[in-house]
Structure 1
């Protein structure tokens, strides 16, 4: 059993290194959520909610475009574990009926709904990358946006997106650190 666990742990780290930690995606997320924060200064909640929902669809294609620049070839990285990532992405997309319900009836909830809903895959993808940073990102993100939602209702359309953007950048830096650390561990084991 120990050999299987070691084999899986090795593959998780190898997958993270091969994918460059997938950092192009959180960088893309930071860009999109920054745009959402700026939009929060100009749009009312219903318009912001619609724009943010549509804008969330930009994250993945932008992440693909940033792969080369950020040395994060997550689409080219192959692993027996990559199916977990696909399942996680499908799972977060199952929330769209709830997001649309909120956007149509309670658009003020969209920043909270989108910020939390779009973080649910982080622990799962993080597991496939042996990433503790991914789990911490999700936990801190949910706590931070919930605190802002409760404590600062007038800042929901700006503070929540800017905090999410900042957390995405911190996650990208943390993932890069994990890639470097795992690369060293894998080289030592070889």
Structure 2
């Protein structure tokens, strides 16, 4: 495809068509949070917090696997897809902060992962022309602060299951937004 001759609007539409607004990454995220919630019944303290940290590295590869299974081109060559990948890579810079939080206040790890994760999704509101990303970012941030800090005793139990639900709702909503866009643009 000749991306150089496409308008910004055409690039966005092409990426939405290819990547399906990135919904497979939310299925991977839902799985991550579900596993963390289940681990909360078996592990505790710093050991559980360490699993949270290590588990974050599974989300992106799992998202690629799910996208392939769903026949979604998550790794589109579209320049806006490249921009999306750079934005997604921002999370690598959160790792040192998460490590410091783990060492000083491990009980804040679920909140920190949720809150910082929410922040990196904001640019996708524009890239994918999606209100769902706005809902997701705000909801994820609020749940992270309320269940991960205000009610910190629930951080390793209620927060991951709440996040699982938010991720699944987001995946479904992104899929619906994409389907509605395709049906609106078809003759």
Q: Is TM more than 0.5 here?
A: yes
What residue ranges of structure 1 are gaps of 5+ in the alignment?
1-6
Q: CA RMSD in A?
A: 1.6
Match of 1:144 in 2: 143
Match of 1:27 in 2: 27
SS at match of 2:136: helix
Report which stretch shifted further, 40-49 or 173-182. 40-49
1:97-127 deviation per Cα after TM superposition (whole angstroms, max 9, x unaligned): 1100011111000000011112222121332
> Is the counterpart of residue 169 in structure 1 residue 168 in structure 2?
yes
How far, CA to CA, are the matches of 1:161 and 1:25 in structure 2? 16
How far, CA to CA, are the matches of 2:103 and 2:169 in structure 1? 32
What residue ranges of structure 2 are gaps of 5+ in the alignment?
1-6
Match of 1:113 in 2: 112
Give the Å deviation of 1:177. 0.7
SS at match of 1:106: helix
1:36-77 deviation per Cα after TM superposition (whole angstroms, max 9, x unaligned): 0111122222111110110111111111111133232211x2
Match of 2:130 in 1: 131
How far, CA to CA, are the matches of 1:119 and 1:145 in structure 2? 9
Does structure 2 retain, via aligned residues, the 8 Å contact 1:23–1:70? Answer: no
Does structure 2 retain, via aligned residues, the 8 Å contact 1:148–1:159? Answer: yes
Report which stretch shifted further, 171-180 or 41-50. 41-50
Match of 1:3 in 2: none
Match of 1:4 in 2: none
Match of 2:64 in 1: 64
Q: Detail structure 1 runs of 4+ shifted over 3 Å in the superposition.
A: none
Does structure 1 retain, via aligned residues, the 8 Å contact 2:111–2:149? Answer: no
Match of 2:88 in 1: 89
Give the Å deviation of 1:14. 2.9
How far, CA to CA, are the matches of 1:10 and 1:140 in structure 2? 30
Does structure 2 retain, via aligned residues, the 8 Å contact 1:9–1:130? Answer: no
TM-score (norm 1): 0.88
Indicate the structure whose relative CO is greater, using CA pairs within 8 Å and at least 6 residues apart. 1
Report which stretch shifted further, 143-152 or 130-139. 143-152
TM-score (norm 2): 0.89
> Is the counterpart of residue 47 in structure 1 residue 53 in structure 2?
no
- The structure with the greater share of residues assigned to helix is 2
SS at match of 2:61: helix
How far, CA to CA, are the matches of 1:92 and 1:59 in structure 2? 11
